[in-house]
């Protein structure tokens, strides 16, 4: 089955560890992962990885994508350099295409007003409150939250973040989704057998 690509935003200081579970298993499920940066110029992650974006942000169209993933980055807290990515998230959501934001990217979405009327989470409530956004009453103390096509999570929850992405895109569901989460979040060896059986039959 042909699927539209998943777009992974990359920018200087992006947090390498926050999206690896999601992108690895999306790729295994047949999704092309396309990196998109501020321009076509290489960027460098917090971990020092140098990444050449496949395309510039301005060239990304929601109609040609399954999902936009926004990782955290020091730059989200340092100014407005990444504001165009938050505006692109608005464009995606307005078009009915999902967005997944983790860690500092949730601050960018808060500033853009995208969390004012959606349930959401982040690192901690006062982290978002410092932006002056209007969605404080919708903050949820949870590992990850999905509301109307928008997934949010804090920096310590890359596995829960991936779980919500898989659920939203239908990569895994039910017992298999639960088993994937138990394996990678809880190191539950019994969950491996469930996944192995599902892959063998799938």
Catalytic residues: 103
Q: Which of 58, 63, 70, 59 shows the shortest CA–CA distance to 97?
A: 63
Q: 70: alpha, beta or left, given left = phi > 0 and alpha = psi -120 to 50?
A: beta
Return the biggest CA–CA distance within the chain.
50
Residue 120: phi and psi, rounded to 5, are -160, 170
**Is the distance from CB of 54 to CB of 35 less than 8 angstroms?**
yes
Contact 122, 143 (CB under 8 A): no
Cβ count within 10 A of residue 83? 13
CB half-sphere exposure, 153, CA atoms < 13 A: 24
Neighbours of 6 (CB within 10 A): 24
Q: Are residues 43 and 51 in contact, defined by beta-carbon separation less than 8 angstroms?
A: yes
């Amino acid at each position: 089955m042909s699927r539209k690509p998943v777009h992974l935003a990359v920018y200087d200081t992006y947090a390498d560890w926050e999206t690896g579970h999601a992108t690895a298993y999306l790729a295994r499920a047949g999704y092309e992962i396309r990196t998109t940066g501020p321009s076509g110029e290489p960027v460098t992650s917090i971990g020092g990885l140098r990444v050449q974006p496949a395309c510039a942000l301005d060239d990304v169209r929601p109609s040609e994508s399954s999902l936009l993933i926004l990782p955290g980055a020091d730059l989200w807290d340092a100014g407005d350099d990444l504001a165009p990515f938050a505006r692109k998230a608005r464009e995606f959501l307005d078009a009915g295409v999902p967005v997944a934001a983790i860690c500092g990217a949730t601050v960018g979405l808060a500033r853009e007003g995208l969390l004012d009327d959606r349930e959401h989470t982040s690192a901690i409530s006062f982290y978002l409150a410092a932006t002056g956004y209007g969605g404080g009453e919708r903050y949820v103390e949870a590992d990850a939250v999905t509301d109307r096509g928008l997934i949010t999570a804090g920096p310590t929850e890359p596995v829960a973040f991936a779980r919500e992405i898989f659920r939203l895109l239908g990569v895994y569901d039910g017992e298999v989704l639960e088993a994937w989460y138990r394996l990678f979040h809880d190191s539950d060896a019994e969950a491996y057998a469930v996944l192995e059986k599902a892959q063998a039959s799938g």
